[in-house]
Amino acid sequence: MNSTARNLFGPVVLVFALLDCGTLMAQTAHKPVPRPAQKSVITNDDVIRMVRNKLPESVIIAAIQSKPSTFSTSATELIRLKNAGVTEAEMNAMLATSSGHAQGSVSSDAATPSEAASASAPTAAPEAPAPALPRSRLPQVALIANGSFQELPLEKTQLAQTKTKPTSMKSLSGDSAVSQAFHAGIGTATTSVASHIRSTTGNSSVQQASSIFSGMMTHRKPTVTYVWGVPNPASANVLQTVSPTFAVDFSRMPGVKPEDYEPAIVKLTPAQNTCRIVGATEGKQDVNSDPASDWQVYSHFLEERVSARAQKLAPGKYKLSAASELAPGEYAVVFRPVAKSKGFSGGDVARAQGDGLMFDAVWTFQISDSAQ
């Protein structure tokens, strides 16, 4: 090419080069910037899926410990996990992870508007929302039937005094003083257990009961018999199975150490069509107003305890089932101290608070005559 041609095409090539450069810059400017991929969150269903696909236990535990998670560790969910084949070590890893989150980690719920606004500023870390409070801190019992869970209402025992010695449930059921007390509604019970925890209604009721019974006694004795009973002659929870199984959760009860208790099933004794007796023991006449935790309520407690299997899933979380078929009649799920020598405060028992509520709480049910 001669010099004239080079002089002619040189500017043209430069123009096209500039046009191509501009086009490339425009395309680059309009090209969307890829967003970082969101981290996947492991749930209970993900753990079950890994177990069913036969991943090694060590791999599943490593995934639980290393990835973000939103595990549900209620008693019902732990039972579902166990039935799905999740091992104890894997469930312990899930519990440890959930416990770590509850102690001050970020909730997995959607971000609030203020958090969304601050997310665009890398130097301003958004505040972590407060973790949601449990639905209830009171102990819970649910019937497991056909793969579903039916929560039973928490009931509160009433407390009566009598001079009759606690030799048998039958003798107590025929005691007129006991039946009169329950018929009059005198005891530590109130219609709302939750509000009763923060009130002293139970204490005043016990004091009233004490004054009535003291008038019925010919002379004062150092000890009396305390009788625990449930109002009404029959439970509203009628079961059609003779082999019930329950999910029990008392892991969040304020002021209570879960390792001090275990769930149990007791048979209730109807008393003159007014109530059902849970059990009885002896104690000092004024023990119900004593704040000292030295009343060994369960050391010599009279009750009809049913043989049952209590499978511990986690602290305060159990799967409870009758060891054999139950005959038609009235029963209740209760909590009993692991050590019979455990001391209780009479005042706590009277007011149904702390350890007192654990001993006073019942979940009644009836095995119908047609149950199978």
- pLDDT per residue over 210-256, tens digit each? 333 333 444 454 789 999 999 889 999 999 999 999 999 999 888 89
8 A C-beta contact, residue 320 and residue 309: yes
Structural domain containing residue 283: 140-367
First and final CA of the chain: distance in angstroms? Answer: 106
Do residues 236 and 97 both lie within one domain? no
Do residues 234 and 178 both lie within one domain? yes
Burial environment of residue 248 by CB neighbours within 10 A (0 to 12, 13 to 18, 19 or more): buried
Do residues 175 and 289 both lie within one domain? yes
Out of 104, 127, 149, a domain closes at 104
SS3 at position 313: strand
Q: Of 350, 344, 343, 346, whose CA–CA distance to 199 is shortest? A: 350
pLDDT in tens, 287-338: 878 889 999 999 999 999 999 999 999 999 999 999 999 999 999 999 999 9
With respect to residue 16, please indicate whether it lies within any of the assigned structural domains: no
pLDDT in tens, 186-215: 443 333 333 333 333 333 333 333 333 333
pLDDT in tens, 149-182: 999 999 989 888 898 888 999 989 888 888 787 7
With respect to residue 321, please indicate whether it lies within any of the assigned structural domains: yes
Do residues 153 and 226 both lie within one domain? yes
8 A C-beta contact, residue 268 and residue 230: yes
Q: Please tell me the least confidently modeled range out of 57-71, 94-108, 200-214.
A: 200-214
Domain count, the chain: 2
Do residues 361 and 315 both lie within one domain? yes
171: left (phi over 0), alpha (psi -120 to 50) or beta: alpha
Tell whether the model's pLDDT for residue 8 goes beyond 60: no
With respect to residue 202, please indicate whether it lies within any of the assigned structural domains: yes
Do residues 255 and 344 both lie within one domain? yes
Average pLDDT estimate for 35-54: 81
Q: Of 336, 324, 323, 311, whose CA–CA distance to 79 is shortest? A: 311
8 A C-beta contact, residue 94 and residue 54: no
Tokens representing 235? 């439970």
pTM over 0.85: no
Q: Of 196, 177, 194, 195, whose CA–CA distance to 186 is shortest? A: 177
pLDDT > 70 fraction of the chain, expressed in percent and rounded: 69
Q: Which residues of 298-333 are buried (b: 16+ CB within 10 A; e: fewer)?
A: beebbbbebebeeeebbebbbbbebeeebeebbbbb
What pLDDT, on the 0 to 100 scale, is given for residue 34? 56
- Report how far residue 149's alpha carbon sits from residue 169's, in angstroms, rounded to the nearest whole number: 32
With respect to residue 135, please indicate whether it lies within any of the assigned structural domains: no
With respect to residue 149, please indicate whether it lies within any of the assigned structural domains: yes
Q: Helix axis angle, 75-83 relative to 44-52, nearest 10°?
A: 10
Tell whether the model's pLDDT for residue 17 goes beyond 60: no
Do residues 172 and 310 both lie within one domain? yes
With respect to residue 132, please indicate whether it lies within any of the assigned structural domains: no
With respect to residue 126, please indicate whether it lies within any of the assigned structural domains: no
Do residues 155 and 100 both lie within one domain? no
Do residues 96 and 152 both lie within one domain? no
Do residues 92 and 169 both lie within one domain? no
- Report how far residue 18's alpha carbon sits from residue 368's, in angstroms, rounded to the nearest whole number: 92
Do residues 168 and 219 both lie within one domain? yes
Do residues 99 and 162 both lie within one domain? no
With respect to residue 20, please indicate whether it lies within any of the assigned structural domains: no
